[in-house]
């Protein structure tokens, strides 16, 4: 497995590289955003780890550039910025996961394996089409339509809606959504899951009479035509 590390702190970058090497990964380092972009677009990495605060190009713009040309490459943001707004901004830029410094190497390894395994599963079922009521999601083209009207979603919104489509008509807790969509434990001190539920709800339900995404007070959310 080939992994790209984009980190301007040499000590941190080499620490991550060493930890990945011990687990059998081949890790390459870029020390600024522009170098990271060039290496990411010229090579086929299985996963990319990037800081947000970088010289020459920040991690958010880097993530957007990579998503434009390589939409399926998993990206983990590794940064000291840990507020809800920071996380939302990172996910909106296209990150698949977000790990706040300081971190434990074993947690990073677990998240890497989860993302790589998930990406492999998506590739094997990429010709699938998910349908519920008048909503249709094409996992190959990443196109979502409701009543034949195309809905534009960010990568993280797409993943959240995909999970709900795969689990219709049952209550999904915030903990389960965090673990299955964000590959992380739910932090009760942040509300980024509710923020993303609202994002998706506005795009999927706002202009339609029949609502699909519903809140179950004290329990979570349910995807059901009502």
37 pLDDT tier (thresholds 50, 70, 90):
very high
Residues 102 and 115 in one domain: yes
Q: Distance between CA 192 and CA 198 in Å, rounded?
A: 10
| pLDDT tens sequence across 78-100 | 888 778 888 888 888 889 888 88
Q: Do 107 and 11 reside in the same domain of the chain? A: yes
Packing angle between helix 84-92 and helix 59-69, nearest 10 degrees?
30
Q: Is the pLDDT of residue 61 over 90?
A: yes
State yes or no: cis peptide before 102, omega within 30 of 0: yes
DSSP 210: S
Phi and psi at 41, nearest 5°, equal -80, -25
pLDDT(58) > 90: yes
The answer to whether residues 96 and 33 belong to one domain is yes
Q: pLDDT band for position 72 (50/70/90)?
A: confident
Tell me which of 85 and 18 has the higher pLDDT. 18
Provide the 10 A C-beta neighbour count for residue 30. 22
130-152: average pLDDT:
90
Note the pTM of the prediction, 2 decimals. 0.63
Single residue among 123, 152, 170 that ends a domain in this structure: 123
Question: Hey, how many other C-beta atoms are within 10 angstroms of the C-beta on 41?
Answer: 13
As a whole number, mean pLDDT of residues 213-218 equals 91
Whether 185 contacts 178, CB under 8 Å: yes
């Amino acid at each position: 497995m080939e992994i790209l590390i984009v980190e301007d702190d040499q000590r941190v970058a080499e620490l991550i590289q060493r930890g990945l090497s011990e687990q059998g990964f081949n890790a390459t380092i870029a020390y600024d955003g522009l170098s990271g972009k060039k290496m990411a677009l010229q090579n086929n990495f299985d996963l990319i780890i990037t800081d947000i605060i970088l010289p020459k190009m920040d991690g958010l713009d880097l993530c957007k550039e990579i998503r434009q040309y390589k939409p399926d490459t998993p990206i983990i943001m590794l940064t000291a910025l840990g507020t809800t707004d920071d996380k939302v901004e990172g996910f909106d830029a296209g990150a698949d996961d977000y790990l706040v410094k300081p971190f434990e190497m074993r947690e990073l390894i677990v998240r890497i394996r989860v993302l790589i395994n998930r990406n492999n599963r998506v590739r094997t079922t990429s010709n699938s089409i998910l349908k519920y009521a008048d909503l249709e999601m094409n996992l190959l083209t990443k196109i979502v339509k409701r009543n034949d009207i195309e809905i534009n979603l960010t990568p993280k919104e797409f993943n959240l809606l995909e999970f709900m489509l795969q689990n219709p008509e049952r209550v999904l807790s915030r903990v389960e959504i965090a673990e299955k969509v964000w590959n992380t434990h739910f932090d009760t001190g942040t509300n980024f899951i509710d923020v993303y539920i609202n994002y998706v709800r506005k795009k999927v339900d706002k202009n339609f009479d029949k609502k699909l995404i519903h809140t179950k007070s004290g329990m979570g959310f349910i995807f059901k035509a009502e």
